[in-house]
């Protein structure tokens, strides 16, 4: 087991998202695993690169190494490790400089930093949309500095991550995490099964349920379910539902995880109902008074004009929203009045949810996968097996197995 502070070195080309990914990992380590983390920018080439990491550090509430002008990347790395030792940090994230292409000075610099900091992990940050170039990049970095894992960014784009299979095959190194958005919590652990499902257009129901469980407040969801079971659904409820859609990743993020929806992408786009529409509808509802949200019948012509002026929308858009709400409210009334045998109960049973629309357990999720016909794809011959789970059997940082797990687990243990 490694002795803290453990160094994690982030490498890659310019524009792949190294700095943002560094902040995302720091946030994950801090919030999910209680690790005291220090971030240090070793990028002295790109203008304001160090300041960018400092800004992200304040955003995720993680410490960053103070900037000292004129130091070389190796000197900054040494200072970061020394500061971490003196101040009791568990993990040091070293955000190295990138280039627009691989060159000898870059590789030499990476080698010197590796010798100085002796990192426990060297993670390559690669853009999933670059295709074959990403494979060549991973191969070159692995030969020169010895990667321990890969982080794929922009996995929320149109590309489905086919580069992932090639990079894993060429380098033999695990893909540990994937970036699925610009927000600081848009970082998922890599699951071969789920990526295979996405590539094949089969969606990822389990990821969707996990996102919902993390984003939705359980108490608020329980109250909303009780109201819906009684057939009650006002504009405040609709606003809350739209807010939860945005939290989970927006309509685009949700649609990308649903089986078969990829084939309907063009039809969905042509319907005009997208994330911008969700934001506009929320703006309209938030321009109403609490009384108006609870009782939409109050919304006569004069009130609609006031709401339109306050939200920047047209009266026609408000009428369209109210019509949509009435249709949803009528649907809620048709559900059984809190009965397990009603429409709500049957829908819950079909989705594997318990009474009161509770989130399913891991076993129920497995059954849900089986019901939906989600197969566990077999790896083609020649592709190395996935890294073994943590020997201690306790996931410390999901997706960072085969190295960082065993290095970080002992931190919280005092003998």
Question: pLDDT value at position 341?
Answer: 46
Beta strand spans in 180-233 (E): 187-189
Residues 259 and 286 in one domain: yes
- The predicted pLDDT at position 401 comes to 38
Backbone dihedral region of 299: left (phi > 0), alpha (psi from -120 to 50 degrees) or beta?
A: beta
Whether 152 is covered by a domain: the verdict is yes
User: What's the CATH number where 215 sits?
Assistant: 1.10.260.30
Q: Which residue has tokens 């560094």? A: 22
Query: For position 269, what pLDDT does the model report?
Result: 60
User: Are 177 and 278 part of one and the same domain?
Assistant: no
Same domain as 184, residue 129 = yes
Residues 192, 128: one domain?
A: yes
Residue owning tokens 């349920």: 209
Q: Are 268 and 258 in contact (CB under 8 A)?
A: no
Say if 399 falls within a structural domain. yes
Residues 367 and 281 grouped into a single domain: yes
Q: How many separate domains does the chain show?
A: 2
Is 338 a domain residue?
yes
Q: What is the pTM of this model?
A: 0.62
Task: Tell me, yes or no, whether 220 and 108 share the same domain.
Answer: no
- Same-domain status, 171 and 262: no
Tell me, yes or no, whether 391 and 244 share the same domain: no
Q: Both 47 and 146 in a single domain?
A: yes
Tens of each residue's pLDDT in the chain, 415 residues: 578 899 999 998 888 899 999 999 999 999 989 999 999 999 998 889 999 999 999 999 999 999 998 999 999 999 999 999 999 999 999 999 987 777 888 888 999 999 999 999 999 998 888 777 778 888 888 998 999 999 988 887 655 566 767 888 888 999 999 998 888 988 888 888 877 776 676 767 777 777 777 777 778 778 888 887 777 889 998 898 888 888 777 776 777 677 766 566 666 666 656 778 888 999 999 999 999 999 999 999 999 999 999 999 999 999 999 998 998 888 877 764 444 444 445 444 544 444 444 555 556 556 655 554 545 444 444 444 444 333 333 333 433 433 343 334 334 444 3
Burial class (CB in 10 A: 0-12, 13-18, 19+), 265: middle
pLDDT of res. 378 = 47
Whether residue 67 is contained in a domain is answered as yes
- Could you tell me if 13 and 69 lie in one domain? yes
Which residue segment(s) compose the domain that 103 sits in?
6-200+380-412
Q: Which residues contact residue 184 at a Cβ distance below 8 angstroms, ignoring those fewer than 6 apart?
A: 23, 24, 27, 56, 59, 60
β-strand partners of 91: 6, 37
Cα–Cα dist 160/155, whole Å: 7
Both 54 and 153 in one domain: the answer is yes
Instruction: Please indicate, yes or no, whether residues 360 and 241 belong to a single structural domain of this protein.
Output: yes
Q: Is residue 1 part of a domain?
A: no
113 in any annotated domain: yes
Contact 205, 194 (CB under 8 A): no
What's 182's domain CATH number?
Answer: 3.40.50.300
Q: Are 190 and 152 in contact (CB under 8 A)?
A: yes
């Amino acid at each position: 087991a490694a002795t803290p502070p453990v160094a994690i070195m982030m490498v890659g080309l310019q524009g792949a998202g190294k700095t943002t990914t560094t902040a995302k990992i720091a946030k994950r380590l801090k919030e999910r695993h209680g690790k005291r983390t220090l971030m240090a920018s070793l990028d002295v080439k790109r203008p304001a690169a160090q300041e960018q990491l400092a800004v992200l550090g304040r955003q995720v509430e993680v410490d960053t190494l103070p900037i000292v002008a004129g130091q070389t990347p190796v000197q900054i790395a040494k200072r970061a490790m020394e500061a971490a030792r003196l101040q009791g940090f568990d993990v040091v994230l070293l955000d190295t400089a990138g280039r627009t292409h691989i060159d000898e000075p870059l590789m030499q610099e990476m080698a010197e930093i590796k010798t100085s900091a002796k990192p426990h992990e060297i993670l390559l940050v690669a853009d999933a949309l670059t295709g074959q170039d990403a494979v060549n990049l991973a191969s070159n970095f692995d030969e020169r500095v010895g990667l321990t894992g890969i982080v794929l960014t922009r996995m929320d784009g149109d590309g489905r991550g086919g580069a992932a299979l090639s990079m894993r095959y060429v380098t033999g190194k695990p893909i540990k995490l994937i970036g699925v958005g610009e927000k600081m919590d848009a970082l998922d652990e890599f699951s071969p099964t789920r990526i295979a499902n996405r590539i094949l257009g089969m969606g990822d129901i389990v990821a969707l349920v996990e996102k919902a469980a993390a984003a939705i407040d359980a108490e608020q969801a329980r109250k909303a379910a009780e109201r819906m079971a009684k057939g009650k659904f006002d504009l405040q409820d609709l606003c809350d539902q739209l807010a939860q859609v945005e939290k989970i990743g927006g309509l685009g993020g949700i649609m990308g995880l649903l089986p078969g929806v990829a084939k309907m992408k063009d039809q969905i786009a042509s319907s005009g109902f997208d994330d911008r529409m969700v934001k506009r509808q929320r703006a309209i509802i938030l321009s109403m008074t609490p009384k108006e949200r609870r009782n939409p019948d109050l919304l006569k012509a004069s009130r609609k004009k006031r709401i339109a002026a306050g939200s920047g929308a047209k009266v026609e858009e408000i009428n369209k929203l109210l019509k949509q709400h009435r249709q949803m409210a009528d649907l809620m009334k048709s559900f059984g009045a809190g009965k397990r045998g009603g429409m709500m109960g049957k829908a819950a049973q079909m989705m594997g949810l318990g009474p009161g629309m509770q989130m399913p357990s891991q076993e129920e999720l497995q059954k849900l996968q089986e019901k939906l016909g989600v197969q566990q794809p077999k790896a083609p011959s020649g592709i190395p097996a996935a890294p073994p789970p943590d020997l201690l059997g306790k996931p410390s940082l999901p997706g960072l197995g085969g190295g960082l797990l065993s290095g970080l687990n002992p931190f919280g243990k005092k003998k």
